Amino acid sequence: MNIPSSIDLVSTPASLRAPYACDPARSRGRIHPEPESPTRSVFQRDRDRVIHSGAFRRLKHKTQVFVYHEGDYYRTRLTHSLEVAQIARSLARTLLLDEDLAEALALAHDLGHTPFGHAGEDALDEVMAPHGGFDHNGQTLRIITSLEARYAEFDGLNLTWETLEGIAKHNGPLFTKGSAGALPWALAEYTFQHDLDLHTWPGVEAQVAAMSDDIAYHSHDVDDGLRAGLFEVSDLADVPILGPILRDVRSRYPDLEASRLIHEIGRRLINVMVNDLLAETTRRLQDAAPTSPDDVRQFGGPLVGFSPDIECDNRALKEFLFERMYRHYRVNRMTSKARRVVSDLFTLYVDEPECLPAEWRIGAEQADKTLRARHVADYIAGMTDRFALDEHRRLYDLYEENR
């Protein structure tokens, strides 16, 4: 039996792929050449490598807003990434893009997040300020290009150029051509040896993944905030997008129980934002008429986005969530604890690297302070919420047994 090539077997037919979509058959390749799979396209293989990575599994115990002991129901980085991937794949299919690349980017986008969400990142960025700072997006690139140690022939996951590009700049160019500016050190260090064209816009699949992240965030933050009692359903009445949704649901289902009401609000919010994004993106693509992925990169602006009206409402929704959820006193208290845990661990490990596990100790005992600090930051960033809390207790509680 002759097995066809991966391109013949699994690639989307050219007639069903938009000309500006990234084509796995025309990928710019991988840093380390290796035989490709006869049953999977290069982007499918990238997606699978992300799913099988240790960093992806650890997302299960890394939280978005709540730390782990606030309750098992709330979203984690893992469930969030799965929700983003579902939205990204649906959008990519409708827009005739490469679904596998969009999914790979969605699944990988949060791999570099620290424990305790943005609170942990802010704390690590503060203590790392003398050494170039800390940025979760740069850390994601660092994980997939060097820190993951799984394969016999190379460090990292050896993903394609298109996946690396989409991860590095999915939110847009990181500088203008001819003026590099101040890149996060992890990005600057990597792109010095492997150019990801950080001055251009990313491919359309990466833009889809970035907007899917926004859509998923808003839906599940509203859901988590309501179920946690940080705000009430009645508080949504005057919030753009949510107010009309709430009124329509109550009109149609006046006796709907609270849990179903909350779910109905969330699913309709996703529908409103997805449908608007599809309509606006289709309009932009028709006007711009790109004929290749490079046309998308050189366009000079995003081709995937919301209409002006929904974008305005989106900002109002962000302001509501910031005031009523992210700045809620219960969240503030956990944020304060998280900052102290991360800062304490960093200080102790840098000053006393002999307290690190054996496999991490060698890299931290080097004399160069910046290299030592970055090594310690890699270790802390890879921790789950639970492990970071337990480790802090083991190291700072005199009566806690060390194991």
Q: Model confidence over 24-47: pLDDT tens digits? A: 999 999 999 999 999 999 999 999
* Confidence band, pLDDT 50/70/90 cuts, at residue 367: confident
**Residue 69 pLDDT greater than 70, yes or no:** no
pLDDT (0 to 100) of residue 192: 87
Average pLDDT over every residue of 94-106: 98
* Confidence band, pLDDT 50/70/90 cuts, at residue 64: confident
Average pLDDT over every residue of 84-109: 97
Average pLDDT over every residue of 330-358: 93
Average pLDDT over every residue of 143-167: 96
Query: Of all residues in the chain, what percent carry a pLDDT higher than 70?
Result: 91
> Is 121 in contact with 335 (CB distance < 8 Å)?
no
pLDDT tens per residue across span 266-308: 999 999 999 999 999 999 999 999 999 999 999 999 999 999 9
Q: Spell out the domains of the chain, with CATH numbers in brackets.
A: 41-191 (1.10.3210.10), 210-329 (1.10.3410), 331-396 (no CATH)
Average pLDDT over every residue of 51-74: 78
Average pLDDT over every residue of 69-95: 87
pLDDT (0 to 100) of residue 332: 87
